[in-house]
A and B are shown apart, each in its own frame.
Chain A
Amino acid sequence: MDFSLSMEHEILRKSVRDFAENEIKPVARELDEKEEFSYDTMKAMADLGLFGMFVSEEYGGQGMDYVSYIIATEEIARVDGSHAATVAAGNSLGIGPLYYYGNEEQKKKYLPKACRGETLWAFGLTEPNAGSDAGNSQTTAVLDGNEWVINGSKIFITNGSSDITAGVIPLTRTGIRKDGKRELTSIIVEAGSPGFEARTMHGKLMWRASNTAELYFEDCRVPKENLLGPVGDGFHQMLGTLDGGRLSIAAMGLGGAQGAFDLSLKYSRERVQFGKPISTFQVNAFKLADMATEIECARLLLYKACWLRDNEQPFAKLAAMAKLYCSEVMSKCVDQSVQLHGGYGLMKEYDVERFYRDQKLLEIGEGTSEVQRIVISRYIGAV
């Protein structure tokens, strides 16, 4: 067994950590407060190379392995959830489907700009009546001559309505398969297509500086060639995209847990009550010890899942486990972090307050914790 990361991974971690500390941390609190997506930090992240990490150089990507992508996401999440969400969704849900399922022409047309971070793409599964049951998509697409005509709506779509969103990829129903099941198909809808509208959602508890949209399709017409992969491949594409996406959500849980831990360790060594730093009271030292232990477990599980993926071995079970475990570890860590901060942890002046809120999405997005447990139950043969 070899648990060591390569030198490139270490250099990458250090560079992204310094970047996050210097460029994102100073503005994260204010952006969260104003519920504002920042095009400045978006550009800075793009210039660093945080988009298209796993895409080959031929399409303008960095040609890195998946572990690199996960480390980078983890390091951004260590400082701010919203920015990590932009990176994780931008790569896994935006660039991912285009790269893995697009044809040569589509890849050449869309990926270079997306990998330079000049454009964002979004993946639309969730609908008002199709959340955990994403396969129950009610958005329909019908071929009319040389065009697809799309009708329906999507909700909670990350990066769906920013000024630089180049398009969205909704999962649509295109008919009934021979076996009687719904035929699901992904279609590329460029921003500005007739009949397509994206509206930014406001009033979020968490990820407030990330862009979330409702998408409306009313007799939206796009060219026939905008089909992503073959007709009927949508369900399979969705599962594949979510397997990879779960690793990035897990990375956000891991990074967020690490960030909350780092803040708490520092705070509790400095905060003096009853004449001593509160970290020296055993009850608090034990909290920190438990956090450190669980973070280490989470990291091992997640990196192993990535290692499997990089080595072309089945990784979906571990991806579900890592997503579940990392988000629950972050949940415990942020709870204890606020506790260690006492009354100050409840105030916006302290970053743990934001971590406490940002964590909650990780147990809901890209498959709730219950859905992960369903997936794992199936893999282990319990159901």
Chain B
Amino acid sequence: MNILVCLKQVPDTETQIKIAPDGMSIATENIKWIINPYDEYAVEEALRIKEKFGGEVTIIGVGPKRVTESIRTALAMGADKGILVDDPAITGSDSLGIARILSAVIKDLDYDIILCGKQGVDDDYGIVGSILAELLGIPQISVVIKVEVSEDASTVKAHREVEGGTLVIESALPALITAQKGLNEPRYASLPGIMKAKKKPLDAKTIADLGLDASQVGENGAKIKIKQITPPEERKAGKIVEGETPQEMAANLTRLLHEEAKVI
């Protein structure tokens, strides 16, 4: 099985995010970058499928040179090769632009299954995987917590959590799946893995290499434009519910929830 994983690099979830002076982006200096956590589930699942069926796992990233570190980390976890699309023209791409770039990379590759994270934890749009499947003309199953590839590797069953139950969807391969938390527990990049990753191939490609033109990506190709980014509201001070006895406190709490918070 040939498995492709689309991987995004995002700011470390523990980083304190500051808004850039332009008010439309975040300040990227002093940020630590990590693999998007949902993409880590995708990498792990790809490795498990490979361990069962054999084949190759290819990691595809789009972004500046620093993304190499995230791709190398995935290679250290056990993936076989990487492709990074790095081009100044990419800056300002929306989800459609990124999906166009990914599909341009993927159309020339031989694949059975594509795994993506369900969303990037930075912009939280959650649509790159879906657009990509549409551009490639293959089925997609999103927000998946369990993946079962059939013994003959021709179909896949994917589990999605829905209110009060689980939806099991079956699709022919090739198909695209987006990973949700709970899919698996990603492995650590082991020390021998880190050494092996040094020798694994990682190709860099430009927009021109992919036969795309600059008007399809970046700000030019974007259908949406960010107007403004604002920090979340400061958390208001909490309230201590008064009362002499537990009964009295409970009564006061109910009253506050009803009259002030208006949630019951």
Q: Which residues of A contact B (CB under 8 A)?
A: 7-8, 10-12, 14-15, 18-19, 47-50, 53, 57, 62-64, 68, 72
Contact = CB atoms under 8 A, between A and B. Distances in A.
B128 to A, nearest CB: 24
B188 A11 contact: no
Contacts of A8: 72, 194-195, 197-198
Given A11-B197, A50-B191, 12 more contacts: A8-B195, A8-B198, A11-B72, A12-B194, A14-B34, A15-B191, A48-B191, A49-B191, A49-B192, A57-B195, A62-B191, A62-B195
Contacts, number: 51
A12 B188 contact: no
B116 interface: no
B192 A11 contact: no
Interface string B169-191: 00000000000000000001111
Contacts of A15: 73, 76, 188-191, 194
A256 B200 CA distance: 34
Contacts of A50: 191
A276 to B, nearest CB: 14
A72 B188 CA distance: 13
B142 interface: no
Given A14-B73, A15-B76, A7 B68 contact: yes
Given A19-B188, A47-B190, A11 B69 contact: yes
B106 to A, nearest CB: 26
Contacts of A53: 191
B68 A63 contact: no
Nearest to B185: A22
Interface string B68-92: 1100110010000000000000000
Interface residues of B, number: 16
B73 A11 contact: yes
A64 B191 contact: yes
B4 to A, nearest CB: 22
B72 A48 contact: no
Interface centre among B191, B192, B194, B198 (most CB of A within 10 A): B191
Query: Top 9 nearest A-B pairs by Cβ distance?
Result: A49-B191, A15-B189, A49-B190, A62-B191, A15-B188, A19-B188, A49-B192, A11-B73, A7-B69
B38 to A, nearest CB: 16
B195 A18 contact: no
Contacts of B73: 11, 14-15
A251 to B, nearest CB: 15
A11 B192 CA distance: 12
Contacts of A72: 191
Nearest to B12: A14
Contacts of B194: 8, 11-12, 15, 64
Contacts of B76: 11, 15
Contacts of B188: 15, 18-19, 48
11 contacts: A7-B68, A11-B72, A11-B76, A14-B189, A15-B188, A15-B189, A48-B191, A49-B192, A57-B195, A63-B195, A64-B194
Contacts of B195: 8, 57, 62-64
A374 to B, nearest CB: 35
Contacts of B193: 49
A59 to B, nearest CB: 13
Contacts of A7: 68-69, 72
A253 to B, nearest CB: 22
A68 B197 CA distance: 15
Contacts of A19: 188
Contacts of A49: 190-193
Contacts of B72: 7-8, 11
B13 to A, nearest CB: 12
A15 B76 CA distance: 10
Nearest to A15: B189
Interface string B188-221: 1111111101100000000000000000000000
Contacts of B191: 12, 15, 48-50, 53, 62, 64, 68, 72
A116 B1 CA distance: 30
Nearest to B190: A49
A318 B72 CA distance: 33
Contacts of A68: 191
A42 to B, nearest CB: 16
Nearest to A18: B188
A18 B194 CA distance: 15
Contacts of A14: 34, 73, 189
Contacts of B197: 8, 11
A15 B69 CA distance: 12
B190 A10 contact: no
A64 B191 CA distance: 9
Nearest to A49: B191
